[in-house]
Each structure stands twice: as C-alpha cells, then as structure tokens.
Structure 1
C-alpha cells in the first residue's frame, strides 16, 4: 500500500519520517475560506475532507502499474478563540498574524 501525505507541513513530514513510514508528499489546493456561521468543528472536518478528496482525485498516474491501494493522510490546524466560535486560519501576512495575536490576547 502506498501512503500519501496530502500536506506540505514540515512537521507532519517529520512525524512520518520519524516513524520510519515511506510516504509520498502531494500538495493540494482547496478553498480554505470559512463559511458564514460555520462552527470550528464543521470547518475543520470540511477542510480535511476537501484535502483528502483533492488528493484522491490527483492519484491518476502516481503509481507504478498494478498499484491500486493507497492511504491518504491529511489534517489541518486552526485556532479557536475563547468564545468557541471564532476561527483563526493561516495568516496571510505579518499584519494579519499580528491582528490574530491581538485577538488571542483580548487586546
């Protein structure tokens, strides 16, 4: 079975390598916009499903002839403010990161 890591996260790559797992990295692009009134739990489930689906759709031609079993590993990381509703995703730039830090510290 081939293992696909649908993530470019250096930490996730490091964890699999430390576990001595042979894997292939496949970067996927999905719209990571938070939907109106979407809960953090719904958002993270939607992101992981979207990334796994995108990785699965890109499998054509990835493997040697006859290989038809694969495992796609993906995950996502978000921040959730103390209100339990406000979702923080990857900052777009330094100013965005600073704004997020301010929100997390309630300043």
Structure 2
C-alpha cells in the first residue's frame, strides 16, 4: 500500500476536472476556489480574457498560503466570440448549433503564483465538431452534462461523439493543459516526481 502523495500546491478552482487532471499526473492539490468577476471586458480578446482570469485566480488563491497556487480558465471561442456556460436549454442549443459542423478554438490559460512570481501561459486547441442534429442536442441537454460547461459541451463526456477532429491539447479542452502546466509548476519548484 503506497502512502498518499503530499499536497504540493493550491488549486484556486472549484473544477473537479482540474483537480482530477492534476491527480492524473501525481499531484495532490489543496482545493480553494476563489470568487472573481468573470465578465469579459468590452472588446477584450479571448486570449487576454482567459489569461486575466487565470492570473486573478492564482493571485487571489495565493493570498494566505506559501504553497504555489494554480489558477486556470477555459473559453470556447467561435469566430472571435467567447461562448460562456449555457444559462438554459435554449442557450445551449444556440451554442451547439453554432458549433455544429464547424471548427472553433478552446483557449485554456494557466497561471501559477510561487517563488518565481506569477508565471502564465495560454494554450489554444482547434476543435472541429461534426454536424449535430437538433434532436441530439436536446438529448445531450437532457443528460445534464452541458449545464456548467463552456460552450455547452464536455469533450471528456458524451460530447466526445461530436468531435470529428482535434488539433492541440486534449487535456486543455478538458480544463488544464498537462504538459504546459507541468512545465510552469516545475519552474515554481513543484515536480510531478517528488523525491
């Protein structure tokens, strides 16, 4: 029986997906969600938006700890427009109909506050969804899966059947680009291979 890995960082997020992704690479995080305004600024490009939120989360989460603190944010972007989380079924249908049969971007920013200051980056993944029938969209909504997901879909869930092509980081679309995150954490003295 192996000993539980030590807590090496704080995760400034309520996302169970991010916690699970960190655990998949051997990192146990202290989960401490932060409350920040996630409203895009007028005319704010999507990449600046996700970077701003990731940095704000990392900084807010680091206020009362010596642990390196990770903040992240993901946006689904279609033709330069940020698609948020659906507010109801009609909104989810509108988003998924817009994404149906088209390529869009998923931008995930990661920021880590630690001994080296605040380090951040953004990973953009191109995702193409096949054409999705309205009946499929309604059936998908009925699963409950789209409710709290950017763009109204979860690639790691039943929406995987809609994904025709992906170019970039799968884990970034789920919520955390693992390669890039591990590199940022290493720069803050957090290794996936603790000694």
| Global fold match (TM > 0.5) | yes
Q: Paired residue for 1:65?
A: none
The answer to whether the 8 Å contact 1:3/1:73 transfers is yes
Q: Structure 2 CA distance, aligned partners of 1:46 and 1:2?
A: 24
The correspondence for 2:68, drawn from 68, 71, 83, is 71
Q: What is the 5 A alignment of 1:58-97?
A: 59=64, 69-81=66-78, 83=79, 85-97=80-92
Q: 1:3 aligns with which of 6, 9, 26?
A: 9
Which position in structure 1 is the counterpart of 2:58?
A: 52
| Structure 1, gaps ≥5 residues long | 63-68
Deviation for aligned residue 1:26: 0.4
Post-superposition CA distance 1:17-59 (Å, at most 9, x none)? 22222320001111111111110111111110111122123x2
Which of residues 83, 95, 102 in structure 2 aligns to 1:100? 95
How many positions carry a matched residue from both structures?
95
Q: What RMSD, in angstroms, separates the aligned Cα atoms of the two structures?
A: 2.0
Normalised TM-score (structure 1) = 0.76
Distance across 1 between alignment mates of 2:87 and 2:31: 23
TM-score by length of 2: 0.44
**Higher strand proportion (structure 1 or 2):** 2
Partner Cα separation in structure 2 for residue 79 and residue 18 of structure 1 = 24
- Give the CA deviation at 1:2: 4.1
> Which residue does 2:38 correspond to in 1?
32
**Higher RCO, Cα 8 Å, sep 6+:** 1
